[in-house]
Amino acid sequence: MAHSIAFPARAQSRAISLSTIPWYLWACVIGVTSAMIGVHWDISWHRSIGRDTFWTPPHIAIYLCGIIAGISSAYLILATSFGKLPEVRPASVRMWGFRGPLGAFVTAWGGIAMLVSAPFDDWWHNAYGLDVEILSPPHTVLAAGIAAIEIGALLLVLGYMNRAHGDQRQRLSWLFLYVGSMIVVVTQVLTMEYTITALQHSALFYIAVAIAVPTALIGVGIASGRRWGATIAAAVYMVFTASLIWILPLFPAEPKLGPVLTPVTQFIPPNFPLLLIVPAFAIDLLRPRLRGSNRWLQAAVLGSAFLVSFLAAQWWFANFLMTPAAANGFFGTMYRDYLTPPDSIAAGKSFVRPEHNFWTRMAIAWAVAIGTSRVGVGWGEWMRTVQR
C-alpha cells in the first residue's frame, strides 16, 4: 500500500514542486516536539513535586501533541478526500472511504489514542494513587499514541521527501532526521528504568539499549539518504536531552507529597544522555561499504559495531559520571528526586554489581543488537520506497 508508485506527469510535478513545506508537516513536527518536552517535564514534575492535578503544564504540553496532530491529520485526510488538495491525492491511500497520505492516517490514530488515554490516566491515579512504574496501563496507551504520531509524522515527511528533488529534498531530509531523533528520544524514555547510571556496568543495561536503539538509528540513517544521517539523529537526541539538564533546574520546585527523603528546591532533570553518537558514527562509517550486501551481513556488521563502540564509550563515560567532576550544572549528576533515599545506590555514587553471568548476557545483547539492526536495515530500505 505504501510502495514506490508512478504518478501521472502533471500530478507528480504539482506534488514535488511546492516552494514551501506544507503547514501540516510543520504542525506534526511541533506536535512531536511538544510531546517530548511534555513527557520529560512531567517525569521531572513527578520527581520534584509529586502527583499533582491532571491539568499540570506538562500534561497540557503532552496532550497538545494529540490535538495538533489530530487536527492537522484530519484536515489533510478530509481535504484530500473532498478534492481540496489535488496535488496530494495522487500520492494518497484509500482507507475507510477516505483518502490521504499513509502518515496522516497513522498520526490520526495516534492522536485518538492519546486523547483516550487522558481520562483513563486521571481515573487510574484517582483509583490507585501514584505510579510505581513508567508503563502503567494508561501510560502504555499514551506511549502507543505518541509512538504512532511520531511514526506517522515520519511517514508523512518521508512521502514528501521521497517525491521531492534538489534543495526541497534537502530541507525535508532535515525535518525527517529531526522527527527520527525524537523517536530515539522516546525509546530512551521507555527504557529509562534500565539505563540509569548505576546500571551502566551491567549487561541488562546493554540489552535494553540493544533492544531500543539500533532499529531507529539504522532505519532513519538509511532512509534519510544522508551520509551522516544516524549521527545527526543521535546528535539531536543528545542536544535535546542535555538541554533539559541545563534548563529544568533553573525553575523552583518543592515536593507536595511525602516522604521527602531528599530535599528538593528545583525541578529534577533527566540523566545525561547516553553517548549514542559514538555507535551512530560507527554505523555511518560502515554503511557505504556494506551497500548492496546481504541484509543479514549488514545487520551482523552494524549490530556488532553498535554494541562494541557503545560499550567502549559508555562504560568509561559512566565511570566519569560517578566522579565529583560530573556533579555540576552541565552533566547534572548531583540532582536527586525527593523519593531517593540518601543511602541508596543512586545517591551513593556506586554501580550495581555486574551479573555473575555477565558475558553470557552480553552475548544476548550482541544477538539482540544484530536482530534489531536487521529490522533497521529492512525498515530503512522500505522507507526509501515510500511515496504515499
Give the pLDDT band (50/70/90) at residue 229.
very high
What's residue 14's pLDDT? 40
Using alpha carbons only, give the angle 310, 313, 316 rounded to the nearest 5 degrees: 130
Q: Is 212:234 a contact under the CB 8 Å cutoff? A: no
Distance of CA 292 to the CA centre of its chain: 28
What's the rounded mean pLDDT across residues 165-177? 89
Quote the cell numbers at residue 144.
502507543
Report which of residues 68 and 313 the model is more confident about: 313
Q: What are phi and psi of 278, to 5 degrees?
A: -70, -55
pLDDT, averaged across the chain: 86
What's the rounded mean pLDDT across residues 6-24? 52
What's the rounded mean pLDDT across residues 65-77? 86
Is the pLDDT at 369 greater than 70, yes or no? yes
Is the pLDDT at 262 greater than 90, yes or no? no
Is the pLDDT at 218 greater than 50, yes or no? yes
Give the pLDDT band (50/70/90) at residue 1.
very low
**Helix or strand holding residue 388 (H, E):** none
| Residues of the chain above pLDDT 90, percent | 48
Report which of residues 4 and 80 the model is more confident about: 80
Residues with Cβ within 8 Å of 232's Cβ and at least 6 positions away in sequence, in order, are: 177, 181, 224, 226
Quote the cell numbers at residue 107.
498520526
Between the CA of residue 23 and those of 14, 26, 75, 93, what are the distances in Å? Answer: 16, 5, 11, 20
Give the pLDDT band (50/70/90) at residue 6.
very low
Q: What are phi and psi of 93, to 5 degrees?
A: -115, 160
What's the rounded mean pLDDT across residues 108-124? 76
- Using left for φ > 0, alpha for ψ between -120 and 50, and beta otherwise, residue 94 falls in beta
Report which of residues 384 and 128 the model is more confident about: 384
Helices (H), the chain: 9-16, 23-48, 57-81, 102-128, 137-163, 166-190, 203-212, 214-224, 229-247, 277-290, 295-321, 358-383
Give the pLDDT band (50/70/90) at residue 7.
very low
Is the pLDDT at 211 greater than 50, yes or no? yes
* Lookup result for grid cell 533527566: 270
Q: Is 317:165 a contact under the CB 8 Å cutoff? A: no
Is the pLDDT at 263 greater than 50, yes or no? yes
Most confident of 14-18, 134-138, 185-189: 185-189
Give the pLDDT band (50/70/90) at residue 332.
very high
Q: Is 36:244 a contact under the CB 8 Å cutoff? A: no
What's the rounded mean pLDDT across residues 120-146? 69
What's the rounded mean pLDDT across residues 156-160? 88
Burial of residue 95 (CB within 10 Å: 0-12, 13-18, 19+) is: middle
What's the rounded mean pLDDT across residues 272-282? 97
Enumerate the β-bridge partners of residue 95.
98
- Decide: helix, strand or coil at residue 275: coil
Dihedral angle at the C-alpha atoms of 357, 358, 363, 364, nearest 10 degrees?
A: 80
How far is the C-alpha of 13 from the C-alpha of 83, rounded, in Å? 17
Is the pLDDT at 77 greater than 60, yes or no? yes
Q: At what angle do helices 166-190 and 203-212 cross, to 10 degrees?
A: 140
What's residue 232's pLDDT? 97
Quote the cell numbers at residue 300.
551482523
| Residues of the chain above pLDDT 70, percent | 88
- Decide: helix, strand or coil at residue 252: strand
Report which of residues 117 and 9 the model is more confident about: 117
Dihedral angle at the C-alpha atoms of 319, 323, 327, 332, nearest 10 degrees?
A: 10
- Decide: helix, strand or coil at residue 127: helix
Task: Using alpha carbons, select from 25, 21, 106, 381 the residue that is nearest to residue 221.
Answer: 381
Q: What are phi and psi of 143, to 5 degrees?
A: -60, -40
What's residue 110's pLDDT? 84
Is the pLDDT at 81 greater than 50, yes or no? yes
Give the pLDDT band (50/70/90) at residue 137.
confident
Burial of residue 199 (CB within 10 Å: 0-12, 13-18, 19+) is: buried
User: Domain locations in the chain?
Assistant: 7-190, 193-388
Is the pLDDT at 130 greater than 60, yes or no? no
- Decide: helix, strand or coil at residue 54: coil
Give the pLDDT band (50/70/90) at residue 79.
confident
